[in-house]
Structure 1
């Protein structure tokens, strides 16, 4: 049995990862900002009362991080897997940045939007990992999976859109690659994963990839990671992504 912490677990990929880890018998700490309003997570908790623990977590809030850590520490002596999945995309549900697409275009970009996206998508995963680092060090071959995107690749970036989102994911890649080097000395393996263009609230209905397929690939990746892959950037199928 693995002990797994997943952020942004209330919908989309995070919810599917939670479901699949539970189905195979793992203990899951599912974190999101408002678990009491996460109806699908609540239903899973009824189905897996001994395996699923819901956490209230805002990855940009130090007090929230500390409280979540205290709860996990009370239920588990260690963590084996951390999946940094929480993230926001301006103009989409849950972003809290308004729905006006004009604010995401050159000439209308706003400082406050940039800071919120960078705080959540880039700094958040770093601080979550830092908060739970000691529990991860006590785990069995612990792995850290950071959900990135091809939009965060400087090489692949080919569109004049998603300024804040793309920049935040590129910044997250650098933060977590840097962390991978340091945490690697303690035997931890950390990778960045492009989960693909999925049919979720964030990805939209035009996407062909189902969250269940991406989640299955990511879980397989986490299970099969080796030390030499530490700090790498790959797709959900394990193929290298250019930085």
Structure 2
């Protein structure tokens, strides 16, 4: 089982890592201190479960869980010092809710629940985009995409470290993946899970803050209300 630890307290992350070493069939694929970083490493680490704190700066645990609520993976196990969020946590589809300090037997029980839930569900279908590199066809997972930009005759798929040319138009991609892609303006789509915030400039323009990159594409006035609603609803 692939586990990603998400907690803003280094000591809490270290304790969970120590406890996980006492659990069978566990691979710690990462340990990060905030929700935005967790979002940015999901496609790279492919965790089966997040051990997720709730009270964190920026994108907190509940907001992150809401972003991932419709996915089979990763499952969410909250690890928090507060009982008050338990009802909302299960409303978000959490598999379990652990109170700090977490004990190893309680952690093993939570991981057992995760395995049972994953075994009962088929692995999610991976969405692939078809691109070209030096004229040769390749494919890339949609989860790897940072944004899709229309430039002249082509659509450019930007991902960490490079960019690829796609044959499909933005409209075709938007119609193919209506639940996974959101429009920022007429020349730009982004995967919904990448959008973590908005930034208003002094001249009134609004830029999108995307997980996993410093690139901030501009948002059109037409699409701004829908994006604000999406962020407000998590």
Instruction: Tell me the TM-score normalized by structure 2.
Output: 0.39
Say which structure is richer in helix. 1
Instruction: Tell me the TM-score normalized by structure 1.
Output: 0.37
Greater RCO, CA 8 A, separation 6+? 1
Bigger radius of gyration among the two: 2
Say which structure is richer in strand. 2
